[in-house]
Amino acid sequence: MEQIITYILLALMLIFSVMTVTSGRILRSAVYLLTVLVATAAIYFIMQYQFLAAVQITLYAGGIVVLIIFSILLTHHIEHRMENPVFWKAMISALAALGAVAMIAWVLKDAQSIQNVAGFIPPKMEDIGMALLSYGKQGYVLPFEVISVLLLAAMIGAIAVAKPALLQFKNKNFKQDDQ
Amino acid sequence: MSWDQLLFMRHEIILIILMLVMIIANLLTKDENKEKLIHLASILFFANLIAGFLPARYGSAFGSMFVANQSGIMMKNILNIATFIVILQSGEWLKKEIENKPRIADFFILILASLIGMFFMISSGHFLMLFIGLELATIPVAALAAFEQGKRKSAEAGVKLILLSTFSAAIMLFGLGMIYGSTGSMYFNEVLTNFNGSALGMLGFVFFFSGLAFKISIVPFHLWTADVYEGAPVNVTSYLSVVSKAAALYILMVVFYTVFINISASWTEILYIVSILTMTLGNLFAIRQKNIKRFMAFSSIAQAGFILLGIIGGAGMGMTVVMYFILIYVFSNLAVFGIATSVYRHSGKEKIRDLDGFYQTNPRLSLIMMLALFSLAGIPPVAGFFGKFFLFTAAASKGYFWLVLIAVLNATIYLYYYLMVVKAMFINQSDEAIDTIQSDFPMRLSLALCAIALIAIGFIGPLYEWINNVATAF
Amino acid sequence: MNADYILLFFLTGILMVAGGMIMAYMISPKSENKQKRETYESGIPTIGKTWVQFKVGYYLFAILFLIFDVETVFIFPWAVAMKKVGMTAFVEILIFFVILGIGLLYAWKKNALEWE
């Protein structure tokens, strides 16, 4: 049962990923991408990684897709349909992609160590929290704090780039004097 | 954990505090006084630079997630110097453009954030930390590349940089996943012991290398460089080509020497091919460039190829020469970019042809430019000569004579196009030579620093010895 | 086990949508005319493109939302483990909050939250 559903989900992911890439309309691509992300979350659920699945839904399906859609709506020509690539270019790209998939699949087929590493019991939320907050070996508090700096920098960078410069003055009168 | 473990992270903590101080200072200053933030940033950063040289303590913190060692701290000091010079050079640009005025502090905050990322990357003892550091080093720089809102090219540079670095980060993360899969750990020392050269691990290694190669713009992954360097504001370009590149090269070297030392035969082969490609293609494209920023982009690609030569030289010797070369490269490149900034600020010109007759109007600037270009080309007695000489020695000491031969041939091509710029400045005559440039004090200070360093580094024998001691103690 | 729930979830989802549509199709009265097919049934036909370019403000809000979304993701495991770890956990999250809080303050002061 589990296997059948997993395969169905994987098939869905594959189909929609291909549609994301090949669709000429950019907004549709975003929606197809959403399907892929939700299906990924479902796979995490099946593997019993509940936390990861929740993260996948809140961040990817919730946040990033919204960001992508807004970014698309910012562009001039949303209704614009992208042209199909030249046949030989598409063929070369397809060959390259297939080659990469074949190589990775070949490598993964022979790799036995994977099973020993991950273990089969997915971590509970509490374990994740403990790992996130402890500072010894296998503790991740330093990356956790550095991520806050990363988020801060991303926020400031986004404002610096996207907010029209003259609207960034605190004092409205000063802005008008200068113009 | 005890509190003094935090002292190992002194460089990073000071920078984070500096960044927060800049944010709060920006919130508190009135719109009219924003220009004063430039002085504040310069002074604070200078204090940080000095504090960086205070005797440091070495050790690992957070369960060896963070490792402070001698060579890492020295690299951080080099990056501090480079960033300080970039900050000195950018004051004029920030003041002149009305569009920049409300965002003066943003520039410094973003530079500091990216520097914090590099520092964490340099000191990482865990691949996750390395990855987060790399992201933190890249994302602010992408925002900086798109800093000039009115210019299409600047926006283009930002988009290209962020898309390609996201792409390369994804490749790298995939590689790290494979390495984790084959070794069961992400700690450097555990990966070192568990890495058995299985197919999975090797593929992960190749992916990891490709991800880093994007940042250093080694040849098959260099396509973004010229466009981004051209479109970004000059000061950001200099930061990108000096600080980002030096940090990424250092981390590549450290990871190769510590984590992947067991497969050194494999990575030597990769580096062998890639360094030849990088040097040659960088050179061939550089000859054709007319814009000085594009020219510097390709020349810095070629320089990266030379540095790979040093990495091939193996731990100890290789580490010493690479760090020595990076130190010289910082000063040479920043001098060239400083002059390019001045020229662009005062005349809006950025073609090499525009430098015709530059010597008549700006003798001092052209002399410094000449010095820097000679250093990049490796002409004695300027520092660059010694740097390049040691790089060749390092590669030759391992018996890679063919590689050295190709590198020497490349160095000749190199010489040709650097001298073309010198010729334009000194020999070519022009009626429309750029007027005499009056730079502000910080700019002059930065250029003087570079010039003195370029002459002095080559002649201070103990410096090389000192770097050697640091690198071998590593 | 988990897979069954997922299957149930999907089936329910499909049933809800498809069931609603089928029900509507079956019980609704039907009348068909040309006007009903227009986008604005009782309005003016649109001229030119119907797509408009959004303001950049949407993007800024979306990215701020995303950043604080990431923050919440970190808070969940913290909240679960908080009791066990004790005071240290509190200090750690405090640093995290302060740094991001400064970011929010910054965005506010920069008028990034203002709708022009």
A138 and A72, same structural domain?
Answer: no
Give the range among A2-6, B190-194, C75-79 with minimum mean pLDDT.
A2-6
Query: Does residue B31 surpass a pLDDT of 90?
Result: no
Q: How many CA atoms lie within 13 A of B376 on its CB side?
A: 35
Residue at A84 is within a domain: no
Residue of C49, C76, C115 for testing the chain A interface, max A β-carbons within 10 Å? C76
How do residues A77-116 score in pLDDT, each as one tens digit?
767 777 777 889 889 988 999 999 999 888 888 766 555 5
Q: Do the Cβ atoms of C102 and B26 come within 8 Å?
A: no
Q: What is the CATH number of the domain that holds A48?
A: 1.20.120.1200
Span A144-154, average pLDDT = 93
Report residue A13: phi and psi, to 5°.
-60, -45
Number of domains in chain A: 2
Is A95 an 8 Å CB contact of chain B?
no
> Which of A113, A137, A170 is most worth mutating to test chain B (most B CB atoms within 10 A of its CB)?
A113
pLDDT at A171 over 70: no
Decide: B190 and B152 in contact? Cβ < 8 Å. Answer: no
Could you read off the pLDDT of B419-465 as tens digits, one per residue? Answer: 888 888 888 887 777 778 888 888 899 999 999 998 888 788 788 88
Q: A73–C106: do the CB atoms touch at under 8 Å?
A: no
pLDDT band at A134 (very low <50, low <70, confident <90, very high): confident
Domain interval for residue A162? 123-179
B370 Cβ contact list (under 8 Å, min separation 6): B422, B425, B426
pLDDT at A179: 41
Give me the pLDDT at residue A56, please.
93
pLDDT digits (tens, 9 = 90+) for B37-88: 899 999 999 999 999 898 888 888 888 889 988 889 999 999 999 999 999 9
Q: Is A107 within a domain?
A: no
**Please, which residues 163-222 of chain B have a Cβ atom closer than 8 Å to chain A?**
178, 180-184, 198-200, 203
Asked which of A77, A102, A136 is the last residue of a domain, the reply is A77
Decide if A130 touches C, using CB distance below 8 A. Answer: yes
Peptide bond into C45 cis (omega under 30): no
Confirm whether A151 is domain-assigned.
yes
Closest among C4, B285, B352, C53 to A73, alpha carbons compared: C53
pLDDT in tens, B358-416: 888 888 888 999 999 999 888 877 888 888 888 888 888 888 888 889 998 988 888 88
Strand partners of residue B351? B291
More confident residue, B333 or B102: B333
Per-residue pLDDT tens over the stretch B138-177: 999 999 999 988 888 899 999 999 999 999 999 999 999 9
pLDDT at A178: 47
pLDDT at A166 over 80: no
pLDDT for the residue numbered A27: 86
How does the average pLDDT of chain A come out, rounded? Answer: 83
- Which range is least confidently modeled, A61-70, A95-104, C54-63? C54-63
Interface predicted TM-score of the whole assembly (ipTM), two decimals: 0.91
Q: Which of residues 63-102 of C touch B (CB under 8 A)?
A: 99, 102
The alpha carbon of residue A148 is apart from the nearest alpha carbon of chain B, in Å, by 10
Q: Dump pLDDT digits (tens) for C18-53.
A: 999 999 999 988 877 777 777 776 677 777 776 777
Question: Letter for the amino acid at B407?
Answer: A
Q: Chains that contact C by 3+ CB pairs under 8 Å?
A: A, B
For C61-94, the pLDDT digits (tens) are: 888 899 999 998 999 899 988 888 888 889 889 9
CB contact A161 to B (< 8 Å): yes
Give, in order, the Cα–Cα distances in Å from B224 to each of A14, A47, B157, B294: 30, 39, 9, 11
Counting residues of chain A whose pLDDT is more than 70, the rounded percentage is 88
What are chain A's partners, defined as 3 or more CB pairs within 8 angstroms?
Answer: B, C
CA distances from B303 to A170, B275, B282, C40 (A): 45, 10, 8, 63
Which of residues A77, A112, A143 is at a domain's end? A77
Who among C1, C77, C114 is closest to A128 (CB)?
A: C77
Contact C5 A45 (CB under 8 A): yes
**pLDDT one-digit tens code per residue, A18-61:** 999 888 888 889 999 999 999 999 988 888 888 899 999 999 98
pLDDT of residue B36: 87
Q: What is the pLDDT of chain B when averaged over all its residues?
A: 88
